[in-house]
Structure 1
Amino acid sequence: MPERRPNRHEGAQASRADGLESGTEGRRRGASAARGMPGRRGGAGAGGGAGKMAAARRGSASPAPLPSVVLQVLLCLGGTYAALYVLATLLLIAYKSQAFSYPQDRLVLDLTLLLLTAALEAARWHCGTKGNLTETELPLAASLVLTVASSLLSVYFLLWQTLVLWADSVLSATLLVLHGLEATLQVVAIAAFIS
């Protein structure tokens, strides 16, 4: 059988395909050389970039604990409510002393305990906020102890005060709920800061 010779069109297509392949390979080599990488795709240069990314990820794998945003919001809310609680309780004591027969010694005791509540609430708020924002356990632990002491005083105003009105019960119960939430979040935050 006679040997078939390619016609003019087939020869042009073949040379064009060869030119595309060599042009593509040349562009690859040029781009690799410009990046300082060897001519092969996926060579050592690609691995080096992945190694840098893995090293960057490893460095940020254990971020430092951030202050608890929920605890901070609750501390601000609790501090504001505590100030309003002290003011409202003071006004209620003034009202009760005028409207009812309030023994003088019991009036002095209730006012003294209310002032102690105000001092404890201010110290508790300061220690809790400082401990949460600086991520230190000691101020948060102090705030937790002050929260327990302030809760006991709230129980006094809820149950054992000389005259307990409905408004006293609502105010003290709300403060106790806020104290319970804050104490729970403080324990969680202390555990997170220690670990």
Structure 2
Amino acid sequence: LHLPSTGKTPKPGSLSSLPLQILLYVNGIYYIFYFLATLAMIIYKSQVFSYPDDFLAPDLAVLFLMAILEMPRLYLGFRGNLTEAEVPLGLSLGLTVGSVVLCVYLLLWQTYVLWADVLLNAVLLSAYGLESGLKVTAIAAFVS
């Protein structure tokens, strides 16, 4: 990901969180894999199982809404951490809550849940949890 220049030069003793930055980067790469794998599984399930037509659209809509949320969530997380700004990091944290809700939907309430769905969503939820903890810690460091 390419972030625009903020005009701020890093100071010695910078408060930005390197673990958070690494996790955001890894989570961005993992989400691409997650999206493609989940989309492939939804297509597979719609072909192999008797997938009710009324339920295919909501499952796909949740997946695409999650992808739309992921872009600003990651961008604001990167930007907030690098510029040591609480507001973008807080907004990213708020978007993470929305992503968690959509992830839980795909884990528990989509029409068919395969073991691969459980595994993919468990990894994503774990990453969201760790990332959220690091964001709260970074915000606390920026405020103080």
Superposition TM-score, scaled by structure 2 size: 0.90
Corresponding residue for 2:108?
159
Is the counterpart of residue 133 in structure 1 residue 101 in structure 2?
no
Counterparts of 2:57 and 2:50, CA distance in 1: 14
CA contact (8 A) 1:65 1:192 kept: no
Q: Deviations over 1:50-85 (max 9, x none)?
A: xxxxxxxxxxxxx65331000000000111111111
Corresponding residue for 1:102?
51
- Identify the structure with bigger relative contact order (alpha carbons < 8 Å, sequence gap 6+): 2
Determine which of 54, 58, 69 is the counterpart of 2:18: 69
Instruction: Give identity over the alignment, percent.
Output: 57
Provide structure 1 residue ranges, at least 5 long, that are not aligned to the other structure.
Answer: 1-62
Is the counterpart of residue 190 in structure 1 residue 132 in structure 2?
no
Q: Deviations over 1:6-27 (max 9, x none)?
A: xxxxxxxxxxxxxxxxxxxxxx
Aligned residue type for 1:188 = T
Counterparts of 2:132 and 2:37, CA distance in 1: 23
Q: Deviations over 1:88-140 (max 9, x none)?
A: 10000000000001111110000001000101111110110010011100000
Is the counterpart of residue 171 in structure 1 residue 120 in structure 2?
yes
Counterparts of 2:141 and 2:113, CA distance in 1: 40
4+ runs of 1 displaced by more than 3 Å?
none
CA contact (8 A) 1:157 1:172 kept: yes
RMSD: 0.9
Q: Deviations over 1:23-43 (max 9, x none)?
A: xxxxxxxxxxxxxxxxxxxxx
Corresponding residue for 2:91?
142
Provide structure 2 residue ranges, at least 5 long, that are not aligned to the other structure.
Answer: 1-11
CA contact (8 A) 2:15 2:138 kept: no
Counterparts of 1:65 and 1:144, CA distance in 2: 21
* Rg (Cα) greater in structure: 1
Q: How many residues align?
A: 133
Q: Partner of 1:186: helix, strand, or coil? A: helix
Q: Partner of 1:158: helix, strand, or coil? A: helix
